Copies of this chain bind each other. A is one copy, B any other.
Amino acid sequence: MEIKEKHSPNAEEKILSAAIKEFAEFGLAGARVDRIANRAEVNKAMIYYYFRSKENLYQTIINRHFTRIGKLLEEKIDPEDSPELIFFKLAQSYDAVFEKNGELVPIFLREVASGGDRMNKILVDILTKKGLVAKLQQIIDRGKRNGLFRKVDSRQAIISFVGMNLYYLIMSPIVNSVLEIKNQKEFRQKRQKEVVDLFLHGLEVK
């Protein structure tokens, strides 16, 4: 005899995690509310009961997760650490974030593709002013004053570092097949050191 719980205590969470998968696979326009309901094993109307619309469900996911990840990254940076350690920790953190939140990558990319209005404000709030970016800028500027680093534009350098890291993490399926990378796990782990190494050699005076 089957016991069917009427009041599932976690219908809302089931919808959210089903929706992440659906949006990741098909995007907002391509996502089907019926499919989300099926994946979550709830009645379709439940989605409208907890979230007022497909759009609102999507926005909820964006807000929750990008805020969470922004905070998570900022916590990792301790300005008391050496530049080497800071940039290595950051490279590690980027890698860990992508490892654990892979489903969000397609959502992020499609957001950028459509202008990123839903995500832009969140990222600016988290990263700017006293946040990650300001901290990194201080590290580089301090190094320049110390005579350790060359007189590079610190904002350009930050973009370069972030780009070196994120580009591979975002594009790894394509990059791996173009570069014929066999042992991807090993390549990805080695990459953390390689990136920091290249970046710091690029900054340091000869």
- Residue ranges of A at the interface with B (Cβ–Cβ < 8 Å): 25-30, 105-107, 109-110, 112-116, 119-120, 123-124, 127-128, 133, 150, 152-153, 155-160, 162-168, 170-171, 173-175, 177-181, 187, 190-191, 194-195, 197-204, 206
Contacts and interface: CB of A to CB of B under 8 A. Distances in A.
Given A109-B113, A116-B173, A200-B202, 15 more contacts: A27-B110, A105-B113, A106-B114, A112-B174, A120-B174, A124-B177, A124-B178, A127-B178, A128-B179, A133-B179, A152-B194, A152-B198, A159-B167, A163-B164, A201-B202
Given A29-B26, A178-B133, A115 B163 contact: no
A159 B204 CA distance: 21
15 contacts: A29-B30, A107-B113, A113-B113, A128-B180, A155-B181, A155-B187, A156-B198, A157-B198, A159-B168, A159-B179, A163-B165, A163-B166, A163-B168, A199-B202, A200-B202
A152 B197 contact: yes
A164 B153 contact: no
Contacts of A116: 173-174
Contacts of A109: 109-110, 112-113
